[in-house]
Amino acid sequence: MNDNTDAIDELVSRYLDAEVTDDEAALVESDPELLARADAMRSAIEAVAAPVDIPMIDLDQRRTVALNATSTSTGITDLSTAGARRIERRNRFVAVAAAG
């Protein structure tokens, strides 16, 4: 983009935000190219601002699949069980050392 295009886009953006002077508004409204640019910008703004509709059934199915995958996974370590095994091993070493 060149500086002129940037200035035009800035003018049109301010026009859409109602931040232009009366003369600037008249300039945009009298120029078909500027009005077309304003319409294109308005359409882009509305498209970006529109909420995305995600069906809840899809979310529920995804959540169920994720929960099922984690509940059957063998890669997850139960920390309380691992801690109990570690304490049991340590106690065996202490018992062997005390007996010897």
Q: What are 85's two structure tokens?
A: 């095994």
**What is the structure's pLDDT at 65?**
85
Q: What is this structure's pTM? A: 0.50
**What is the structure's pLDDT at 19?**
96
Measured between alpha carbons, how far is 100 from 95 in angstroms, rounded to an integer? Answer: 9
Average pLDDT, 10 consecutive residues per value, the chain (100 residues): 83 95 96 96 92 78 83 71 87 83
Q: CB–CB of 45/16 below 8 Å?
A: yes
Q: CB–CB of 92/84 below 8 Å?
A: no
**Exposure of 27 by Cβ count < 10 A (0-12 exposed, 13-18 middle, 19+ buried)?**
middle
**What is the structure's pLDDT at 73?**
60
What are the sequence ranges of the domains in the chain? 3-49, 56-99
